[in-house]
Amino acid sequence: MRSIWNGAISFGLVSIPIKLVNATESHSISFRQIHLGDGGRIRYRKVCELDGEEVPGAEIGKGYEEADGSVIPITDEDLAQLPLATAKTIEIMSFVPAEEIDPLQMDAAYYLAANGATAAKPYTLLREALKRSRKVAIAKYALRGRERLGMLRVVDDVIAMHGLLWPDEIRAPEGVAPEVTVSVREAELDLADALMATLGEVDMDSLHDDYREAVEAMIAAKAGGAFEPTEAVVEPAGGQVIDLMAALEKSVRAAKASRGEAGAEGGAGAEGGAGAEVTPIRSKARAGAGGAAAAAPKAVGGKKSTAASAKKTAAAAAAGTKKKATTGKSAAGKSASGKTASGAGGSAGGSAAAKKTGAAAKKAATPRKRSSA
């Protein structure tokens, strides 16, 4: 890889000659501006505002424009004479845990390559020291006419440097967070955790730019004359979320289905503690109360029949001793039938009715004995 800067790492009294190599590259597809009438390229010309003449690159320099509009020329020689200690040196200032670096500060990334055989030993020393300490180095360096902040860390067996924005270049997030007060339920957090667990595992090497591939295929088709434009399928934009729980459950099911996991149709399952269909517990309670209410009339009915039997028993007792015995048997049979009719759910009510029936029969029979005597 071609180096874009040569210098040295200043590590205390140790100097490590290095070459700066770009660690990233852009695969974005760039387009030219053309004249739609004939396809001719549209170019930008650098023209002097004073004489209207086009100026070649060799005659173009730098200048600082002041508030009143006047321009002060600045040459490369002027900048080279500034007392910049980091002009050709990456000066390490401190070592800190990587967690202390805000990702918002991350900028361009570079690889630092050892420049020459003599640089191999100190380069390896710094690399192994960074590995063992599990820290990153904070350094200053100068590139493209300005001093910058950097972070050195180890990637495989190479020292990489990330350009960092200066702390005062990070804007405070004022007025960005929602201004309304929102409360989040535990069940919603559980479903969010289930969705994160489903989507969280991905092979980073499998990710690629689908749009760029589509553009390249379109360009190849147009170049071959076989391109047929098709209407793009645009998914409708999401509206207001009416039921957050339902949206989370649907997202978990869709994520699991896309991964081919079993039980995707059944909802979140054990993860998140909620399923696709929620059975209201309150309706079950109402149903149970209704069942008890429905069983109550049977017990009431049993009491009515018991009272009627008692009346019939008292009337039959007036006929004589022989009919008393028959009435007693009839009352016992009716009380037994009341037990059978009430079933398992009303056995307690039936037995209570039988006891009341027997008590009523004895009560009705006792006065008749005294009157006959």
* Contact between 300 and 353 (Cβ < 8 Å): no
Report pLDDT for 209: 87
- In three state form, how does the secondary structure of the chain look? CCEEEEEEEEECCEEEEEEEEECCCCCCCCCCCECCCCCCECCCCCECCCCCCECCHHHCCEEEECCCCCEEEECHHHHHCCCCCCCCEEEEEEEEEHHHCCHHHEEEEEEEEECCHHHHHHHHHHHHHHHHHCEEEEEEEEECCEEEEEEEEEECCEEEEEEECCHHHCCCCCCCCCCCCCCCCHHHHHHHHHHHHHHCCCCHHHCCCHHHHHHHHHHHHHHHCCCCCCCCCCCCCCCCCCCHHHHHHHHHHHHHHHCCCCCCCCCCCCHHHCCCCCCCHHHHHHHHHHHHHHHHHHHHHHHHHHHHHHHHHHHHHCCCHHHHHHHHHHHHHHHHHHHHHHCCCCHHHHHHHHHHHHHHHHHHHHHHHHHHC
* Contact between 140 and 148 (Cβ < 8 Å): yes
Which of 187-191, 240-244, 264-268, 308-312 is predicted most confidently? 187-191
* Contact between 94 and 137 (Cβ < 8 Å): yes
**Which among 313, 296, 326 has a CA at the least distance from the CA of 366?**
313
Beta strand 146-155 with 158-164 is: antiparallel
Is the pLDDT score of 368 beyond 60? no
**pTM of the model as a whole:** 0.57
pLDDT tens digit sequence for 70-94: 999 998 888 777 777 777 889 999 9
Share of the chain above pLDDT 90, in %: 33
Tell me the C-alpha to C-alpha distance, in Å, between residue 295 and each of 228, 243, 343. 73, 39, 10
Is the pLDDT score of 138 beyond 70? yes
- For residue 358, name the pLDDT band (cuts at 50, 70, 90): low
- For residue 238, name the pLDDT band (cuts at 50, 70, 90): low
Is the pLDDT score of 258 beyond 80? no
Helices 281-317 and 321-342 cross at an angle (nearest 10°) of 170
Higher pLDDT, 141 or 300: 141
- For residue 47, name the pLDDT band (cuts at 50, 70, 90): very high
Other C-beta atoms lying within 10 Å of the C-beta of residue 344:
5
Higher pLDDT, 220 or 308: 220
Report pLDDT for 240: 57
Report pLDDT for 234: 63
Share of the chain above pLDDT 70, in %: 66
Which of 85-99, 108-122, 222-236 is predicted most confidently? 108-122
